[in-house]
């Protein structure tokens, strides 16, 4: 029988890399997406069902193209700054939308989900590296909305036997090696794409959000993780749920932090071009430093990230930005 996974948000950046991974490993990815921020052109590896998490009837239509062995849930509004400005939209989409998805799974007898969560559930770190037991005190509505869903998944495991793996991404970056899919947001708010655009010489100048943070060079520090390594973790989570019930959560990062200034320097090296930038005010909702401890994912899931070098991650993104397919 065909193995099939419902990839919610599969027209987006991380979801499309997941769909590609599944197809390459013999599993049909059926993409559910409302195309609000995703790209029709990124759906290349399986069928697209246009549906909206806020429209339960449309979800029923999507589940009709099953049966699905699991759902992978990448649909979310995910911008920290925007979530501070529009909290209700974030809670509606990320919490209500996920509740609708979980209820649709119940109606259609699907009892496994891999959920995309975020480092933003932790808030300001109290230790240099963040493991799964770190206190969870989000400082922005985006992180809070994801933490609420984590709680829902834990309760649903107890009550209904729903199996779940929550993967908390640190900063997703990079693009597929063959250049067919990559990161394309409109407007683009993420650091690496904005750095590379400035390097391309499209007339934009990078705005560095604050150089007065309590970090070695005054700019924020993040842990950048290649999008294909995130896909690999989802793949291992699927395996894990075959043998384990309950709700489980893992942090995914490389365990090394890079400042905004270090990312700029790495992008200048990868592109061979200068990155024009200005120092701008701090962005609301940003913590100073976010670096993962991912030992649990390595030990329990057998996850082994392959693209751990920042230069290589930026190089894959640079190749995409020089010749984007959409």
Can 90 be counted among the known catalytic residues?
no
Give me the least distance between CB of 138 and ligand UDP, in Å please: 13
Nearer to ligand UDP, 221 or 238 (CB): 221
Using CA atoms, how far apart are residues 90 and 106, in angstroms rounded to an integer? 24
Residues 6+ apart with CB under 8 A from 276: 198, 205, 206
Nearer to ligand UDP, 5 or 220 (CB): 220
Residues 6+ apart with CB under 8 A from 313: 173, 174, 192, 224, 225, 226, 307
Among 7, 220, 227, 252, binds ligand UDP (CB under 6 A): 220
Nearer to ligand UDP, 5 or 79 (CB): 79
Q: Is the peptide bond before 93 cis (omega within 30 degrees of 0)?
A: no
Q: Which among 316, 144, 291 has a CA at the least distance from the CA of 227?
A: 316
Give me the least distance between CB of 162 and ligand UDP, in Å please: 27
Residue 13 interacts with ligand UDP (CB under 6 A): yes or no: no
Among 117, 194, 251, 271, binds ligand UDP (CB under 6 A): 194
Nearer to ligand UDP, 105 or 206 (CB): 206
Among 132, 229, 286, 315, binds ligand UDP (CB under 6 A): 286
Catalytic, out of 13, 90, 91, 142: 142
Rounded to the nearest 5°, which phi and psi values hold at 113? -145, 140
User: Which range in 61-69, 184-192, 265-273, 305-313 contacts ligand UDP by CB under 6 A?
Assistant: 184-192
* Other beta carbons less than 10 A from residue 216's beta carbon: 12
Site string for ligand UDP, 140-179 (x = CB under 6 A): -------------------------------x--------
Residue 222 interacts with ligand UDP (CB under 6 A): yes or no: yes
User: Which range in 34-42, 85-93, 103-111, 205-213 contacts ligand UDP by CB under 6 A?
Assistant: 205-213
Residue 283 interacts with ligand UDP (CB under 6 A): yes or no: yes
Q: Are 188 and 194 in contact (CB under 8 A)?
A: yes
User: Which range in 155-163, 187-195, 228-236, 303-311 contacts ligand UDP by CB under 6 A?
Assistant: 187-195
CA dihedral 165, 170, 171, 173 (to 10 degrees): -50
Using CA atoms, how far apart are residues 18 and 260, in angstroms rounded to an integer? 27
Residues 6+ apart with CB under 8 A from 92: 54
Q: Which two tokens stand for residue 312?
A: 């290589």
**Residues from 240 through 279 that contact ligand UDP (CB under 6 A):** 260
Using CA atoms, how far apart are residues 127 and 168, in angstroms rounded to an integer? 17
**Residues from 77 through 106 that contact ligand UDP (CB under 6 A):** 80
Nearer to ligand UDP, 29 or 38 (CB): 38
Residue 121 interacts with ligand UDP (CB under 6 A): yes or no: no
Helix ranges (DSSP H) in 161-250: 191-200, 227-243
Using CA atoms, how far apart are residues 83 and 79, in angstroms rounded to an integer? 6
Among 185, 197, 207, 298, binds ligand UDP (CB under 6 A): 207
CA atoms within 13 A on the CB side of 213: 27
Residues touching ligand UDP, count (CB under 6 A): 15
Catalytic residues: 142
List contacts with ligand UDP (CB under 6 A).
80, 171, 189-191, 194, 206-209, 220, 222, 260, 283, 286
């Amino acid at each position: 029988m065909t193995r099939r996974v419902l990839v919610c948000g599969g027209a987006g950046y991380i979801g499309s890399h997941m769909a590609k991974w599944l197809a390459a490993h013999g599993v049909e990815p059926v993409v559910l997406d409302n195309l609000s921020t995703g790209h029709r052109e990124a759906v290349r590896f399986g069928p697209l069902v246009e549906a909206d998490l806020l429209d339960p009837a449309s979800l029923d239509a999507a589940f009709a193209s099953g049966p699905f062995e699991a759902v992978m849930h990448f649909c979310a509004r995910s911008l920290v700054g925007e979530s501070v400005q529009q909290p209700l939209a974030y809670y509606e989409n990320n919490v209500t939308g996920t509740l609708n998805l979980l209820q649709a799974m119940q109606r259609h007898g699907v009892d496994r989900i891999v959920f995309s969560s975020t480092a933003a559930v932790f808030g300001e770190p109290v230790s240099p590296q963040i493991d799964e037991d770190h206190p969870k005190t989000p400082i922005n509505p985006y992180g809070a909305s994801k933490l609420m869903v984590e709680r829902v998944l834990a309760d649903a495991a107890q009550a209904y036997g729903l199996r779940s793996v929550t993967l908390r991404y640190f900063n997703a970056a990079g693009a597929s090696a063959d250049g067919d899919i990559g990161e394309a947001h409109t407007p683009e708010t993420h650091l690496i794409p904005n750095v590379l655009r400035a390097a391309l010489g499209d007339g934009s100048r990078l705005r560095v959000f604050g150089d007065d943070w309590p970090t070695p060079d005054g700019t924020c520090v993040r842990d950048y993780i290649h999008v294909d390594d995130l896909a690999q973790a989802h793949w291992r989570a699927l395996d894990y749920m075959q043998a384990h019930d309950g709700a489980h959560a893992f942090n995914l990062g490389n365990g090394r932090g890079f400042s905004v200034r270090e990312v700029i320097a790495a992008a200048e090296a990868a592109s061979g071009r200068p990155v024009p930038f200005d120092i701008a005010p701090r962005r609301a909702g940003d913590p100073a430093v976010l670096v993962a401890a991912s030992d649990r994912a390595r030990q329990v899931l057998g996850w082994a990230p392959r693209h751990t070098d920042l230069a290589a991650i930026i190089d894959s993104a640079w190749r995409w930005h020089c010749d984007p397919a959409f």
